[in-house]
Structure 1
Amino acid sequence: MNTLTHAVGDSATMVGRQFRHMVRYPSLTLMLAGQAIVLLLLFVYVFGGAMGTGAGAATSRADYLEYITPGIMMIAVASAALGTAISVATDMTEGIVARFRTMAIARVSVLTGHVVGSLFQALLCVALVTGVALLLGFRPTAGPGGWLAALGLVLMVSFALVWLSVALGLVSKTVESASNLPMPLVFLPFLSSGFVPTETLPTGLRWFAEYQPFTPVIETLRGLLMGTGTGGSGVAAVAWCAGVTLVSYLWARKLYNRDPAA
C-alpha cells in the first residue's frame, strides 16, 4: 500500500469516526441548527414587522424573511464551526491524539476527519435552517444554476470557517476556551448587511460592516438565491473565503505539527 492510499484509507476511517459521533450525539447538531432557527423565528415574528417597514430592507414581514435568510444561514455555518473547535480541543486535551500517535496511521487523517465531518454538519445545519425558512414562506427565485452557485458559496464559507475553528481548537488549552474563542464568528453576521442594509448604520459601524467578510458573502448569497445579481460582491466573497482558508490551514498545520501530542 503506497503512502497516498494509506492516507486516504486512514482519513476515511477518521471521517467515519466523526460521523458516528454525530449519529450518537445528534443533540449537538440540533442545538447548533436550533440556535439559528430560533433567531430566524425571533427576527421574523418579533422584529419582522418593524424591521421590514423601518429598516429599509423590505416592505413587509415576508420580504424581511427573504432579506435575512442568507444572514441566518451564515449564522448556522458559524455555529457549526463552533462545534468544530470544541471537538478538536477535546481530542487534543483528552489524550486520544496521543494514542493515535502510537498507531501506524497517517498524521493528516486526524484533522481531515474533523474537517470533513464538520463540513457535513455545517451543510446539515444550513439545510435545516433553509427548510424552516421555506416553511415560513421563503421563496427564492434562483434556478438550478443559482442554487448550485449558492451551494458552492456555502461550501467555501464552511470550509474556511471550519479550518479557522480547527486552528482555534488547536491553540486552545482547554475545551472551555475552545468554546469561547470562535464566538465572534457567530456575532459577526449581526454586524453586516445580514439584517439591515449597511447604509442605515452609523458611520463607523457602517464602515466596519461594509469591509468585514460576511457582508460580501451574504450579499452574494442573497443575490444568487433571489436572482438579483451579485455585482462585485461575488469576487470579494470568493477572495475572503480563499484568504481565510489559506491562512487558517497554514496556522492549523503549524500548531498540529508543533504539538508534542500530535
Structure 2
Amino acid sequence: MLPSAVEAFSPALLVPTAKATGIALSVLGLVRVARWAGAVSTPTARKMLHCLIGPVFMACWNMWPADALAGPWAAVVPGGIVAFFALVGQGVISDPGTVSIMARTGRAAELMVGPLEYGIVCVALTAGAFRSLLALSALMALFFGDAAAELAGRAVQAAALKRRGGALVAWLARPALPVLPARKSLAGTCAYFSAALLGAAAMTAFGLSCGWTELLRAVPASASPLASMAAVLVAGAAGGALAEAATDSDHDNLTGPAGAAAAALASGWALGVAVL
C-alpha cells in the first residue's frame, strides 16, 4: 500500500532530512575552511572529508523515525551532494574549491569517478538498507577501510623503498593478491580489514545504544545476537578488503563496499540472520 502524501512528506521525515543536510554541509564547509586557511594539506583535506562526512551522516540516521520511508528520505542528503558533484564534474557549475579538495589531479572531471561512486554507494545503501547490518558493514568499509588501506599501503611501500623494517616490511609490501593485476599491498589489505571491522563494530554499538531494532531482526533464537552480528561484520570486512585488493584504485569506492555487502549477505544467509 502506497503512503499518502501527508505520510510521505510529514515533518517527522522532512525535519531530520533538513537537519542532516545542514550537518553534512557543515562538515564539508569546515574541511574547506581548514584547507583554505592552510591548516591542512590538500591530500589531508581529501582524506578528512572521505572519513568524516559519511560517518557523521550515519550518526544522523538516529534522527529519523522507524518508518518505511526513512531510508529514502535519508538518502536525499547524500543524493543532493552527489548531484552537486556531478554538476561540478560536468562543468555545469564552477567550484574550484571543491575540485581542489576532491580531485587528486586538479581536474573537475575526476569528480565523476571516485567521489561520484562514493556518493552513489551512500545513496543506494541508505535508501535500500537503512539501519541494517549490511549497510553498516559496507559503508564503514568505504569510509574507513579504503582510507586506511591507502595510508598503510603508501607507508609500507615508502619504508620498503628506503630499505627500512627488514623482512617484515618487505613481506607487508608484497601484493595481497599476486595472481591479479591490481598490486595492492598486503599491509593495505590488512589495514582495510581492520579499519572496516572496527568502524562497523563501533557504528553497530552506536545503533544498538540508540535502539535500532532493525539490527536485531531475524536473529535465530538459538544463537547469540551479538555473536551473530560480529560474524557478519567480520565477513563483511574481509569481503570488502579482498574486493578492494582485487581492483584498481579508480573504482575501489564501488568494489570494496560491494564485496563487503556480498560477504555480509552470504554470511547472514549461512547463519540464518537477516542482514537487510
Q: With structure 2 as the length reference, what TM-score do the two structures score?
A: 0.30
Higher relative contact order (CA 8 A, sep 6+): 1
Structure (1/2) with the larger helix percentage: 1
Q: With structure 1 as the length reference, what TM-score do the two structures score?
A: 0.32
